[in-house]
Structures are given as structure tokens and as C-alpha cells.
């Protein structure tokens, strides 16, 4: 159909101030046609349904040439992966008038697939917020259905297109939150954005976002002191916007940021768009990494316990699996303090040993580095390259997997290395938790030895390695008596040095103890001096407080350090102006031991070792004397860790109650449930479990009172009533003195 216009021009029309919506299936057939579309084009719903959309709309360009058709350019853009696209059209209404419209199409997620269409008269201005929300919603629907790398690339390309930004990047938080690692870059200035692939909290825009846990933006990028990528500083880029990626648990899992050449940027709109897309992308990142970790734990445990327990076989499996996942030609696995453990790969890879590179990463003078290099790669003389993946546990670096790529082999996408870090960390954590059991099992039982330069026994390899990470654990053999420094963070803070309690009277500057607490709360992650000063003296100028800060550091070291040796500190360490508590120092920290015991209990349960699980949980809850740094009730820097540890204790108490209930020991179950409710009184499931335990033990009146307590707390704290299942249990308690068959609650 051609446009009846003189000289190729479309006559002016009286547009209607309305817009229409329609939906089409995978075959481009109309499945919905609303009243707005009927009014705009004069085509009824009955006429449109079942027809190909291009036959119904029949759009033309300004010269009267057909645009709509089987190969419609708008649909073609969607097929290329864009979440939404649009095109100006001229359409002929039923009464013969020519109308200028904009046709927007939004891809719908699979299943069921298809497209949502919007027809808007050209003179009808559209709300920018509505347009952004519609396009972002279409993109968010695509993210869960695609791979992580494709999701990241889609989101970045979408943001660059709709905001006009020159470049974008995504980073993922490293296991344990010690740093943030590079995942992807889209747009211009690739060498500048990939100059560094790892930042600690407070370093670079990703590290500042990680530290602040809130959006940041600037229109003076080159002037920011925390910009460490020199190429980025010289790139000419002026503005940068970054927001956190938040996972399903509310925990930060990464960052997404975009950058502009100009300073005049609509930061409000950019932050809005980033906030919208970051929700779906954060959930995608969280789910993908969780799946990676769970797969690694399960496979590693199966390898260890397949037949006779064999740690060597499991570590060799780890190396082979990481080589396979990364598409490398081969690899080597090193453990801290033990050196080379396993090799795998093509002859070329085995000939090009990574040992010179590893010596630089795991320097003998610093067996457990507090910081890690900022680049993944190291070229070697053969023309190939080694990429390194750290094996991280909660307490620090435990080893490296070196992946070899030949001279003709391309590296996989950078995002794969971040995922591999999480894969390796899950295995390393499992190794820590299984170590006590393996050592007891291996004593005199001929467990396979770990290969190295010379054979190293399981006790030697695991024992030497874990001694650096587990700290004072009575089961391991170090014991609290071996710890020169003991720190109790759960409940009232206590510091014991050489067996003597450090009372407040022995500390002339009380902020020295506050500094120690702050360093402990960051779990060994180095913190910039300026950050620490702000936490100690909120709102104060960092330069004016610098000398006082150094006095505090000196006093704290005088208090707990055994003495300075070659300018190396045992506990209170620093890398220039970045300070941290050395978590590998051998100090006993009750919160650290509590977390380890809880995790040990979960793994014992997974193995079916109920006795070991109960022992670990009981030791853990015994350590929990109170909330984390309870004498710092208003401090923001420990709030998140306090909540995390409290919930871990509630979970351990609940698991103990469940296991005692399985043996019909209701008194013990009641005791643990009451303690769990003291920590979290709004947990309705705990009230329900306690009601059942009281009922099963013959204390029906107490069970009724417990329901009344539950109802009152829920009403006062949350404005809620008990769930139907809780009310049903209450009715059963009122109707019968005991549960039928005395079964424990499931």
C-alpha cells in the first residue's frame, strides 16, 4: 500500500490524543488489540485478532514506502537481542487519513515469548519515566532466561544505548567480601577499564561502591583520588555512575557502572535506570554464583568420600574441573605452605611451569598475602600465558589454581574468572570443614598422601595448611591455650593477652580498643586510614586527625604485639595507609570460631553424621555469650555482622532442637527453642515448634500460653496475626492432651 501524498510528502493530519497497545505471539499474529488501538487506527479487535501485525498496522515511511512486513526492522532488532525497539511510521486510518505514529515493541520473556506493542501518535508526548520503565521491564524479563555473561552484556549494552554513555562495566564481590573482581566491559576504552581487574573496598569506583553499599556518581572523574586506573584517568571520561547489585538475601553481590565523556549528565534518570536493571541482574548474579558454589561443594564432597576417603583425588578433580570450565590447555594447583600439589593438561602446558609466577604471588616472606595482584594474567616465554584463580577461605588465601593458555588460545570472557573464584572458594571452605574429620580418619588408616615435590601426608598437608586458617580449635590440636591473644566479641568485649585480661584501666586511650573492634569487624580486609578515621571520629577532617590515629595504632600495637621484627607486625598490620587485623595470626577470636563451628555442623549434617553435627552446634552456641560487640549498640560498622551472627546462632539452636526432638528428648528441644526465641522473638516457626514440643512433653497449658505469647508479639511488633497453620496447631492442642502417636513435628 502506498501513501497518497503529493511530492512524497505526507499531508497534515488531525491526530487523536490517545495511544494503543497490542500483543503478538511468536508467529507475529495479533493475540490482543485494545480499545486505544481500535480508536487510533479504526480497526476493530475482531478484525485484528489472528492477523499478522504487519498486515494490520501496514506502516509506511515518510516517502510512502512500506516499512511493516515479514522482515520488519523493528522485529529484526528484537531478534538480535535488544529488549525493546521503536520506529516512526505513517499509517492510514480507516477513514483514509494519514497519521504519524511511533511503534514501540517490547520483547516478552520465554515462555510464552512474543511481543508487546505500543502505538503512539507522534504529537502525543510520552512520559520519559513510562518509556524507561517499559523498556527496562522488557530487559528484566530477558535476564533470568539467559546465561550470566549474556545477561551482563545485554544490560550494559542496553544502558549505553538508552543513556548515551560511552562505556559500562560490571564487577562481582569476591568470596568473603575481601575485594571486588572484574566481570565485563562494554563500549569504548576497553584497555582503560581492564587495566585492573581487582579492587579492595574503597579502591576505584567499584571498591568505593562496595564500601559505601550505596550508589555513587561524579562529574569530575579524573580528579577523584580513589581512581587507580591511570588509563581511565587519562581517557577523557568525565562522569561515572555506579550502583550496587543486591542478591536475594539483601547482601551486595557486585556493582554496575557506566561512564560518560561529558559532565552534563541527567544523573537522576541514569540512577533510576541503573537501579531498575540492577535488581534483576543482582538476582541473576546471586543465583548463578550460588549454583556454582553448591555444585562445587557437592562434587568435592562426593570425590572425597567416594570409596576410601581420598583428599588427593578430590584436589586433582578440582584442578581438572577448573581447567575444563575455563577452557584452558592445562593447569597446576598450589597450596599455601605446601607448594605444587597437582598438574593436569597438554604437554605444552606441563612444560611451561607456572612456578616462577607462583613465587611472585605466594612470596615466602608473606605466605598468606593480605592483598592480591590486580591482574589475572602473566605472560611466559613460550608465548602462552598463565591465569591465576585464588583459593579463598573465610580466613584468607589458601592456595592458587594456575590455568595455562597456549599462544594460540583465546582467554574466555573475564566474567568466567570471577565465577571460578566462587567455585574454588566453595571447595576450599569444604576442605577446612572436612579437615578435622579427615585427620581423625586418616590417623593410622592409610589415607592417600598428597603429591608434591616430595610426598606429603594428609596430616602434614592439611595440618600445616589449616593451622594458618583455623586458629585456636580444640579439636584440631592448637587449643585456646596456644593462642597468645584471645578476643571475645560475642557479648561483652574481652581482650586477653598472654593469659591476662586487659581491663579498661590498662588502656589510656579507649579509642584504641574501638580501633581494634573496627579492624576485627572487617575480617582482615585492609581499610584506608581515612575510612578508619571517619569511623572513629565521625565528620572530622581526616588530615587533622591523622596524628591522633597513628597514636592509637601505636598504643594498640604496644598493647598486644609481641614486638616488632624487621618492621613486620603480627596482629595489627598495614599496607601503607591501609590497616587490618591479621586473621592468620593464630589469635583466638570467638566470632570466627563460632562461624566455623556452625558451618562444620551443617556439613556434618549433610554427611549424615548427626553426632558430629550436634557436637559442633553445641560448641558454637556455647561460644555465643551475647550479640556481636553488644557494648557498641549504635555502631553502624558492626550492625550487619551482628545480625548475621545472631541468625546463625538462631539456626544452630533450631537445628539442635530439631535433632533432640527426633529422639523424643523434648526437654532439651524446649530449652534450645526458648533460647532461639530470646534472640529472635518474631520467628513464628519457632513459636510453633515450641508449642508442639511443650504439647508433646505433656505441658499443654504452657503450649496454649505460648500460642498467646506468639499472637501478642506478632500483633505488637508486626501488626500480624498467626498463620493458619499455627492456628490449626493451637486448635489441635486445645482438642487433645497429646499429639497423636507422640510423633515429633515435621
Instruction: Give per-residue pLDDT as tens, 504-525.
Output: 777 888 889 999 999 998 888 7
Note the pLDDT tens digit of each residue in 319-330.
888 888 888 888
pLDDT at 650: 94
Provide CATH 3.30.450.20 ranges for the chain.
6-126
Question: What is 471-660's CATH number, 1.10.486.10, 1.10.357.10, 3.40.980.10, 1.10.10.10?
Answer: 1.10.10.10
Nearest to 392 by CA among 223, 115, 584: 584
pLDDT at 624: 95
Residue 563 pLDDT grade (very low, low, confident, very high; cuts 50, 70, 90):
low
Q: What average pLDDT does range 639-653 have in this prediction?
A: 89
Bridge partner list, 508: none
d(CA 383, CA 364) in angstroms, rounded, equals 27
Provide CATH 3.30.450.40 ranges for the chain.
147-153+160-293, 311-467
Residue 743 pLDDT grade (very low, low, confident, very high; cuts 50, 70, 90):
very low
Residue 406 pLDDT grade (very low, low, confident, very high; cuts 50, 70, 90):
confident
Q: Is residue 116 within 8 Å of 105, Cβ to Cβ?
A: yes
Rounded percentage of the chain residues whose pLDDT exceeds 90: 19
Q: Is residue 292 within 8 Å of 425, Cβ to Cβ?
A: no
Cell numbers 508433646: residue: 696
Q: What average pLDDT does range 570-574 have in this prediction?
A: 88
Q: Is residue 582 within 8 Å of 573, Cβ to Cβ?
A: yes
Note the pLDDT tens digit of each residue in 140-155.
554 444 566 777 877 8
Q: Span 147-153+160-293: which CATH code?
A: 3.30.450.40
Provide CATH 1.10.10.10 ranges for the chain.
471-660
Q: What average pLDDT does range 704-727 have in this prediction?
A: 90
Question: What is 6-126's CATH number, 3.20.20.70, 3.30.390.30, 3.30.450.20, 3.30.2130.30?
Answer: 3.30.450.20
Asked if the model's pLDDT at residue 590 lies above 80, the reply is yes
pLDDT at 289: 80
Note the pLDDT tens digit of each residue in 216-257.
888 888 888 878 888 888 898 999 988 888 887 678 889 999
Q: Is residue 192 within 8 Å of 235, Cβ to Cβ?
A: yes
Q: Is residue 617 within 8 Å of 610, Cβ to Cβ?
A: no
Asked if the model's pLDDT at residue 673 lies above 50, the reply is yes
Burial of 258 (0-12, 13-18, 19+ CB in 10 A): buried
Has domain 311-467 been given CATH number 3.90.660.10? no
Alpha helices in 80-229 (DSSP H): 128-142, 148-163, 190-193, 204-212
Provide CATH 1.25.40.10 ranges for the chain.
663-746
* CATH-assigned architecture of domain 663-746: Alpha Horseshoe (1.25)
Specify the DSSP class assigned to residue 744.
P
d(CA 1, CA 67) in angstroms, rounded, equals 10
d(CA 247, CA 151) in angstroms, rounded, equals 15
Q: Is residue 152 within 8 Å of 290, Cβ to Cβ?
A: no
Amino acid at each position: 500500500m502506498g501513501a497518497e501524498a503529493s511530492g512524497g510528502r505526507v499531508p497534515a493530519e488531525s491526530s487523536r490524543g490517545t495511544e494503543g497497545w497490542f500483543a503478538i505471539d511468536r508467529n507475529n499474529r495479533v493475540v490482543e488489540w485494545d480499545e486505544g488501538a481500535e480508536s487510533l487506527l479504526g480497526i476493530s479487535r475482531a478484525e485484528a485478532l489472528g492477523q499478522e501485525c504487519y498486515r494490520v498496522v501496514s506502516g509506511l515511511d515518510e516517502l510512502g514506502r512500506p516499512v511493516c512486513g515479514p522482515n520488519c526492522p523493528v522485529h529484526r532488532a528484537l531478534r538480535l537481542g535488544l529488549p525493546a525497539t521503536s520506529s516512526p511510521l505513517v499509517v492510514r486510518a480507516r477513514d483514509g487519513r494519514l497519521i504519524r505514529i511511533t511503534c514501540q515493541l517490547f520483547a516478552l520473556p520465554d515462555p510464552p515469548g512474543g511481543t508487546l506493542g505500543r502505538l503512539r501518535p507522534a504529537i502525543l508526548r510520552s512520559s520519559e519515566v513510562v518509556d524507561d520503565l517499559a523498556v527496562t521491564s522488557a530487559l528484566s524479563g530477558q535476564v533470568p532466561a539467559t546465561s550470566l555473561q549474556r545477561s551482563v552484556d545485554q544490560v550494559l549494552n542496553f544502558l549505553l544505548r538508552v543513556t548515551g554513555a560511552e562505556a559500562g562495566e560490571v564487577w562481582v564481590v569476591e568470596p568473603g567480601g575481601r575485594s571486588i573482581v572484574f566481570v565485563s566491559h562494554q563500549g569504548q576504552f576497553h584497555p582503560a577499564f581492564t587495566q585492573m581487574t581487582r579492587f579492595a573496598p574503597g579502591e576505584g569506583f567499584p571498591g568505593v561502591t562496595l564500601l559505601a553499599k550505596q550508589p555513587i556518581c561524579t562529574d569530575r572523574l579524573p580528579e577523584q583520588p580513589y581512581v587507580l586506573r591511570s588509563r581511565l584517568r587519562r581517557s577523557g571520561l568525565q562522569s561515572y555512575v555506579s550502583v550496587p547489585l543486591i542478591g536475594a538475601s539483601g547482601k551486595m553481590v557486585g556493582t554496575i557502572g557506566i561512564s560518560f565523556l561529558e559532565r552534563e549528565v541527567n544523573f537522576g534518570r541514569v540512577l533510576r535506570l541503573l537501579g531498575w536493571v540492577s535488581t534483576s541482574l543482582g538476582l541473576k548474579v546471586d543465583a548463578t554464583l550460588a549454583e556454582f558454589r553448591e555444585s562445587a561443594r557437592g562434587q568435592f564432597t562426593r570425590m572425597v568420600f567416594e570409596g576410601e576417603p581420598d583428599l588427593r583425588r578430590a584436589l586433582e578433580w578440582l584442578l581438572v574441573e577448573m581447567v575444563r570450565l575455563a577452557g584452558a590447555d592445562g593447569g597446576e594447583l598450589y597450596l599455601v605452605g605446601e607448594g605444587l600439589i597437582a598438574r593436569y593438561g597438554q604437554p605444552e602446558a606441563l612444560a611451561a611451569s607456572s612456578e616462577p609466577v607462583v613465587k611472585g604471588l605466594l612470596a615466602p616472606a608473606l605466605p598468606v598475602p593480605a592483598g592480591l595482584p590486580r591482574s589475572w594474567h602473566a605472560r611466559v616465554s613460550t608465548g602462552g600465558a598463565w591465569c591465576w584463580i585464588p583459593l579463598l577461605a573465610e580466613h584468607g588465601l589458601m592456595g592458587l589454581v594456575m590455568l595455562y593458555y597456549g599462544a594460540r588460545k583465546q582467554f574466555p570472557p573475564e566474567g568466567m574468572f570471577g565465577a571460578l573464584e566462587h567455585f574454588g572458594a566453595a571447595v576450599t571452605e569444604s576442605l577446612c570443614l572436612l579437615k578435622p574429620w579427615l585427620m581423625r580418619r586418616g590417623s593410622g588408616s592409610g589415607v592417600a598422601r598428597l603429591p608434591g615435590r616430595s610426598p606429603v601426608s594428609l596430616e602434614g598437608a592439611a595440618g600445616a595448611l589449616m593451622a594458618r586458617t583455623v586458629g585456636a580449635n580444640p579439636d584440631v590440636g592448637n587449643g585456646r591455650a596456644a593462642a597468645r591473644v584471645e578476643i571475645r566479641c560475642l557479648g561483652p568485649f574481652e581482650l586477653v593477652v598472654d593469659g591476662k585480661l586487659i581491663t579498661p584501666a590498662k588502656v589510656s586511650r579507649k579509642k584504641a580498643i574501638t580501633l581494634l573492634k573496627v579492624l576485627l569487624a572487617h575480617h582482615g580486609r585492609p581499610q584506608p586510614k581515612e575510612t578508619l578515621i571517619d569511623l572513629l571520629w565521625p565528620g572530622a577532617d581526616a588530615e587533622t586527625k591523622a596524628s591522633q590515629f597513628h597514636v592509637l595504632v601505636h598504643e594498640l600495637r604496644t598493647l598486644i604485639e609481641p614486638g616488632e621484627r624487621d618492621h613486620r607486625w603480627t596482629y595489627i598490620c598495614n599496607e601503607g595507609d591501609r590497616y587490618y587485623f591479621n586473621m592468620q595470626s593464630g589469635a583466638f577470636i570467638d566470632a570466627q570460631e563460632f562461624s566455623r563451628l556452625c558451618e562444620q555442623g551443617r556439613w556434618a549434617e549433610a554427611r549424615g553424621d548427626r553426632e558430629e553435627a550436634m557436637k559442633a552446634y553445641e560448641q558454637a552456641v556455647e561460644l555465643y555469650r551475647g550479640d556481636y560487640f553488644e557494648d557498641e549498640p549504635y555502631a553502624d560498622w558492626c550492625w550487619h555482622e551482628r545480625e548475621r551472627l545472631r541468625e546463625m546462632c538462631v539456626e544452630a539452636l533450631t537445628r539442635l532442637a530439631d535433632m533432640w526432638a527426633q529422639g523424643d528428648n523434648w526437654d532439651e528441644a524446649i530449652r534450645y527453642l526458648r533460647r532461639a526465641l530470646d534472640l529472635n522473638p518474631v520467628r513464628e516457626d519457632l513459636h510453633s515448634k515450641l508449642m508442639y514440643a511443650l504439647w508433646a512433653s505433656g505441658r499443654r497449658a504452657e503450649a496454649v500460653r505460648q500460642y498467646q505469647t506468639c499472637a501478642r508479639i506478632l500483633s505488637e511488633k508486626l501488626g500480624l496475626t498467626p498463620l493458619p497453620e499455627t492456628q490449626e496447631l493451637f486448635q489441635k492442642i486445645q482438642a487433645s492432651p497429646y499429639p497423636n502417636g507422640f510423633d515429633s513435628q515435621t
